[in-house]
Structure 1
Amino acid sequence: MRRFTAPRLSLAGQFLALQLVLIVVVLTVIAVVSVAQSNAEFRRTEGRRLLSVAETVASQDAVRVGLADVERQGILQPTAESARSVSGASYVVITGTDRRVLTDADPRRIGGLLELGDSGVLSGRSWVGSTQARGRSALEAHVPVFGERGRLLGVVAAGREYRGLGERIATATPHLLVYLGIASALGAVGSVLLSRRIKRQTLGLEPEEITALVEHREAMLHGIKEGVIGIDRQGSVTLVNDTAVDLLRLPPDAPGRRLDQLGVEPRLHDVLTGRVRGRDQVVVTGDRMLTLNRMPLVTRGATAGSVTTMRDLTELVALRNELETTRSATDTLRAQAHEFHNQLHVIAGLVELEEYPEVARYVRGISGTHARRTAEVMAKVADPSLAALLIAKSSLAAEQGATLRITDASSLGPVGESLSSDLVTVVGNLVDNALDAVRDTGPDSWVEVAMSERKREVRVRVRDSGPGVAPELAEEVFRHGFTTKAAARDSQRGLGLAITRLVCTRRGGDVSADGAAFTAVLPFTASERAEGDES
């Protein structure tokens, strides 16, 4: 069985209903206040008039005579009725001191008792107030009648019944229905105009549709894996999902605050605000490497802000670095294969010439050179992976006409697997960067590597004969991951130094540039040292 669902009011209908309710409430308050004011005015005006009527009746000699002489009480009724008809009062009653009614327009009430309520008329004082006599609310004035020598003879009561509520409302606000009709018409017109204006601003959506749209947006925003952050024209955060809060390490109350107040890094601030433009902008923040894409928001031809999406490249960069290391090893092997190929050609030529003693001398020479190079590296670097990297880079340097040397003071003992991997990454990137810097600079180009271990940290210094980094770019090369090489047009180049800093900062160290010298510091733990000693 299908359940009946009442149709929802449109935005215009809701405004109209609200305004009608407000109009009714306002008019009701006005009516109540007007009736209260009318009642107060009625008591004030009618009270004075009724008191005057009662005083006039009480001052007549006929009333005194009728109250003093029982046989002449008949003159009281005509006197009271005459005063009632002339004054317009609802009733004029004359009683004796026993409160027994002697005159009344209704003969059935003659002989009954007059209800005095709070009146002090029997003590000789006049009184004006409200009573519940005759079954209805009435305003009464009580005046004592005095005889000779101030003797109290009786009481004159002049009263007027209160009008009904409807009559009082009609008297107080005679055009209430007209006001209600006019206000309702104006409210209806205003509601329609207001709802049209609001719907133009809300793209024609009803409140329920706007609520559903916001809820759907929130669910979608926090459900996607990529980080999303919205910035307005003033540089304040308008929206941010959980992923972006985690990647950028923002506080939970980031929405509504300016980027300056959140203390974001300068490079990140420049990308988020559009000072740095371009696709896939790489930003290193903390121990993470992010790629950001900013999209401006344009509304009615004006820029309203921007939305920036971000992805965590840390793991991807680590994998890519391993690939780069593999490629570097491949290039090194290729260089060594080329070198061995040339040497084999020399040996083959000497054999054909039957210069056998020369063949033996040549073989001993190249074998000794390779052995000396390997022994020199292994004597200073105890880690096999790092030693193999330096030997391979030495061959690569020789192929491009440069010299790779390790300082005599260099010394590095066994290290753990984790530190070994990070050292291979850092040294490999710094040496590659140095070899690129001295490429095509002449036959005397060189790259120097110095390594030392102290206070539970490994210090690596790579220096070359190239022009070096300008002082103003000493930090920029790490933040942007850019390159000054001719191959800079390749978007994959220029990340080596950024990766180097990422590895160092993740360990609590750092890397810096000073001209043509780069110094990296990699702290290590006691467990990593113990792991290296065991291996």
Structure 2
Amino acid sequence: MKLKKKIALLSLSITILSVMISGLLIMRTMEESLEDEMSTNVLNISRAVAKIPDIIRAFEAEDPALVIQPIVESIRAATEDVEFIVVTDLEGIRYSHPNPARIGARFVGGDEAAALLEGKEYVSTAEGTLGLSTRGFTPIYNFNHERIGMVSVGILNDHIFQTKTQFKKEIYFSTFLGILIGLIGAVLLGDNIKRTLMGLEPKEIAGLFRERSSILEAIKEGIIAINEDARITLMNTAAKDILNFTEKDIIGRPIEEVLPNTDMVKVLHSGVAVSNEEKKICGTNIMINTLPVLHQEKTIGVIASFRDKSEVTALAEELTGFKMLVDSLRATTHEFMNKLHVILGFLQLKDYSSAEKFILDITAHHQEVISFIIKNIQDTSIAALLLGKYSAAKESAIQMNIHPSSNLTKMPSSIPSSLMITIIGNLLENAFDAVQYIEDKKVIDFLLLEKEEEIIISVKDNGIGIDLSHQPFIFQKGFTTKSDGRGIGLHLVKQSIDNLGGSIQVKSKTFSGTQFLIKIPKALR
């Protein structure tokens, strides 16, 4: 059975049961109330009639009926629902009756003895000359407090039954109306729940939940989710392992209480995603992406995914090493293609001595540069980067000077090669861009110097320089003066240096070149 039908049937069943029970209770209460009201009415009327002075004095008259009948009938006519008011003497002889022909005859019913013989006041139900009726009995006393007769006031049970029937009809109609409203409400409730569940059935939801749980546990990335109240709704096993998190019962707790050093609350309020941000949480350096969860353009939560930065760094170093090697080979290929064309020209001119000299010169110079880099820069990724940049510089007619005192042994474990490549690669690329706009000789001076406690990097060019008004903003993400730039290079440089606990100085004058001087401590601060 579909969820919508289940909900509708359940709601309708509850409504029908509730309405019917309520209707029965109301009906029973109304019947009892009606019976009590009728009994009270007949008894009150009989009491009132028994105390009328004219009726009491009439008992001493020669024919009491002549006085009593008009008085009683006038009262009966003025009283709603009362079928008869009968006044009798102690022998039960009638002095009044709705049918005058029955005056003088004995009272009929068999329930009058207690009033006539014992002087009791009560209500009973009995069959009289007019039919089954509810009757109230009250004894009549004269002015000397002597019992002289009785009064019986009655309402036919047929009338009571008709009144009850009318009440029941109203209750039946109300019950039917309640059930109809309940049916409509059940259908609307079913539709609403169905829409809330996006049309999914419970089995489908359960299946999706199992699949989601399996997927989240299979993902190697840590996943944390919070709701619009900034409380944790999800944390997978990978997240706990990466953060070395051992606490239990964290679902429902505020994220700031469990993991204070995240941007999840900030993203929750701003609705702006944060990508590839480095954070140190619970003593672990991670790369984290934080995304808002939107529903109808409203942020209803935040999801953060992250990985241990050491894993990302190791992968980046491996990939970067290959990339640097490819770039180096590509640049070298272009450079030697140009040189081969020169050699081909000398051969076509049959100037063999010049060709021989040119070959010896370029071979010696290139071998000298390669030997210097390989000998002094022992980190293969950085060596590959410098070879590639050197070849690219020669191809672009840029004189790239690597300072003869440059040296670097194996990189300390506290300094990932990937960050050094980010720093050096982006600074050299910026220098290439800076010198391409000048007509004089294009020169870039590079220094990579390892000292006992720190590593020094210097990149100096004779390019167009940086405008003084721009210098405070060059490390801001997105700031660029290039028409096709993205403003990310120097931001990555600054971020990498900050992560390594280093410092950077910039010296620049417009049209006089720029120098970046970086100092990175070998021991992590």
TM-score normalized by structure 2? Answer: 0.51
Aligned partners of 1:143, 1:408: CA distance in 2, in Å? 138
In structure 2, distance between residues paired with 1:207 and 1:387: 57
Taking the aligned partners of 2:317 and 2:444, their CA distance within structure 1 comes to 25
Partner of 2:277: 285
Letter in 2 for 1:191: L
In 2: Cα distance, 1:440 partner to 1:6 partner: 72
CA contact (8 A) 1:11 1:206 kept: no
Flag structure 2 segments of 5+ consecutive residues without an equivalent: 61-88, 125-133, 244-250, 256-262, 280-285, 509-513
Secondary structure of the residue aligned to 2:275 is strand
2:425 is the counterpart of 1:428:
yes
Pairwise CA distance, 1:419: 1.2
Q: Distance in 1 between matches of 2:268 and 2:180?
A: 55
Native 8 Å contact 1:294 1:308 kept in 2: yes
**What number of residue pairs does the alignment pair up?**
435
Q: Which shows bigger deviation, 16-25 or 190-199?
A: 190-199
1:262 match? 265
| Aligned twin of 2:79 | none
Letter in 1 for 2:323: E
Deviations 1:252-276 (A, max 9, x none): 779xxxxx9931299x955x6xxxx
Contact 1:199 1:206 in 2 (8 A): no
Cα distance change of structure 1 residues 221 and 88 upon mapping to structure 2, 3 Å threshold: farther
1:195 is matched with 187
* Alignment of structure 1 residues 27-66 onto 2, 5 Å: 27-28=23-24, 30-32=26-28, 34-35=30-31, 37-39=33-35, 41-42=37-38, 44-52=40-48
Query: Residue 276 of structure 2: SS of its match in structure 1?
Result: strand
CA displacement, residues 176-208 of structure 1 (integer Å, 9 cap, x when unaligned): 2465257527844883697389759957x9999
Change (3 A) 1:501 1:34: farther
In structure 1, C-alpha distance between the alignment counterparts of 2:12 and 2:278, rounded to whole Å: 56
- The aligned counterpart of 1:180 is 172
Pick which of 213-222 and 334-343 moved more: 334-343
Shift of 1:30: 3.9
Contact 1:93-1:156 within 8 A present in 2 as well: no
The answer on 1:400 being equivalent to 2:396 is yes
**Could you tell me how far apart the structure 2 residues matched to 1:37 and 1:200 are?**
42
Q: Describe the superposition over 1:122-142 as per-residue Cα deviations: whole angstroms up to 9, x where unpaired.
A: xxxxxx8999xxxxxx99888
CA contact (8 A) 2:233 2:252 kept: no
Deviation at residue 209 of structure 1 after TM alignment = 4.7
- Residue 326 of structure 2 corresponds to 327
SS state at 1:423 partner: helix
Q: Which amino acid aligns with 1:438?
A: V
Of 428, 442, 446, which aligns to 2:443? 446
Q: Is residue 229–residue 307 contact of structure 1 (8 Å, CA) maintained in 2?
A: no
Instruction: Tell me, in whole angstroms, the C-alpha distance in 1 between the residues paired with 2:381 and 2:197.
Output: 67
Asked if the contact 1:146/1:154 (under 8 Å) is kept, the reply is yes
**Contact conserved, 1:221 with 1:228, CA < 8 A, in 2?**
no
Letter paired with 2:38: F
Alpha-carbon deviation of 1:447? 3.1
* Structure 1 position 171 matched with structure 2 position 167: no
Q: TM-score, normalised by structure 1?
A: 0.51
Residue 78 of structure 1 corresponds to 92
Structure 1 counterpart of 2:85: none
TM-superposed CA distance for 1:10, in Å, is 5.6
The one-letter amino acid paired with 2:183 is S
Q: What is the distance in 2 between the residues matched to 1:168 and 1:457?
A: 109
1:199-214 correspondence runs (5 A): 199=191, 209-214=200-205
1:19-30 map, 5 Å: 19-28=15-24, 30=26
